[in-house]
Copies of this chain bind each other. A is one copy, B any other.
Amino acid sequence: MRIQVINPNTCQGMTDKIASAAQQVALADTHIIASSPKHGPASIESAFDDVIASAALMDEIAAGVEQQVDAHIIACFGDPALDAARELATAPVIGIAEAAFHMATLVSHRFSVVTTMSSTINTAHSLLHKYGFEDHCVNVRATDIPVLTLEQISDEIFHTLLAECRQALLVDKAEAIVLGCAGMADIAARLQHDLQIPVIDGVTAAVKLAESLVQLGLKTSKIGSYRPRQVKPFIGRYQHWGA
């Protein structure tokens, strides 16, 4: 099967890193198609970044639809434009935040999120509510590490993240950790080894969920919430979406 993994920001290093993490857990016959938008911010760390990246992301989803991929993954922890993507697609679309949350509740009763910038905390809370995991997430902890720093995770950053995870265990009584950024995929195993509790990365979680849905023959429901959008006029730089 072919799974499109979209990095919604425009940093190629991050796209490569995500692709590599995805490939590592994919089944032998799963082909990972990584992409990122041609337009938009280098990283997504605010509501503004999210809004701009979301519009650009739509082109990537449309490209995936045209290539008839079997599933789409939105690999940014804010799950930007997830509902709009489901309107465009018929294959399943999975956000990495939701993927991580689902997996976390299967192996723990209460988890904490360890993330990058404080400016993303509101988004995480809003997603937790949307998906129904509010009561299972005890805390969202920001480390104020800029997203792009994660392209190459230094020892110092690793230990900052490890220390924050330990606080989650001690203070929040968290039983598992959800990593709050696609850029942390490569250190999940190392953190899990040091902490001896489940540490969940959304990119790899989303790949397994996408494969699962495909194997079960489940696609995005096209009645109700995700019914196909109506074609209508668009002007200016969005003219290509029009009738």
Chain A positions within 8 Å of B, measured between CB atoms, are 10, 25, 27, 37-43, 45-52, 54-58, 81, 83-84, 86-88, 92, 94, 98, 102-103, 105-110, 119, 122, 126, 129-136, 169, 173-176, 189, 192, 197-198, 200, 204-205, 208-209, 211-213, 215-227, 229-230, 232-238, 241-242
Contact B54 A51, beta carbon cutoff 8 Å: yes
Contact B110 A238, beta carbon cutoff 8 Å: no
- Residues on B with C-beta less than 8 A from A169 are 223
Contact A232 B42, beta carbon cutoff 8 Å: yes
Contact A215 B208, beta carbon cutoff 8 Å: yes
How many copies of this chain does one complex carry?
6
Task: Tell me the nearest residue of chain B to A230, going by C-beta.
Answer: B45
Residues A213 and B106 in contact in the complex (CB < 8 Å), given A42-B234, A50-B84, A129-B129: yes
A152–B211 alpha-carbon span in the complex (Å) = 30
A87–B119 alpha-carbon span in the complex (Å) = 11
- Residues on B with C-beta less than 8 A from A50 are 84
- Residues on B with C-beta less than 8 A from A84 are 46-48, 50-51
Name 19 extra pairs, CB < 8 A, besides A25-B216, A108-B221: A10-B234, A40-B236, A45-B232, A46-B87, A48-B58, A52-B58, A55-B55, A103-B213, A105-B131, A107-B213, A109-B122, A131-B132, A132-B133, A132-B134, A132-B136, A175-B224, A198-B221, A208-B211, A237-B237
- Residues on B with C-beta less than 8 A from A133 are 132
Contact A229 B46, beta carbon cutoff 8 Å: yes
Q: Which of B38, B109, B237, B242 meets A224, CB within 8 Å?
A: B109
- Residues on B with C-beta less than 8 A from A109 are 83, 122, 221, 224-226
Task: Tell me the nearest residue of chain B to A224, going by C-beta.
Answer: B175
- Residues on B with C-beta less than 8 A from A215 are 25, 208
Q: Which of B81, B136, B227 meets A119, CB within 8 Å?
A: B227
Contact B103 A41, beta carbon cutoff 8 Å: no
- Residues on B with C-beta less than 8 A from A45 are 230, 232
- Residues on B with C-beta less than 8 A from A238 are 39-41, 52, 56
Contact B103 A218, beta carbon cutoff 8 Å: yes
A189 CB to closest chain B CB (Å) equals: 7
A137–B7 alpha-carbon span in the complex (Å) = 31
Contact B205 A216, beta carbon cutoff 8 Å: yes
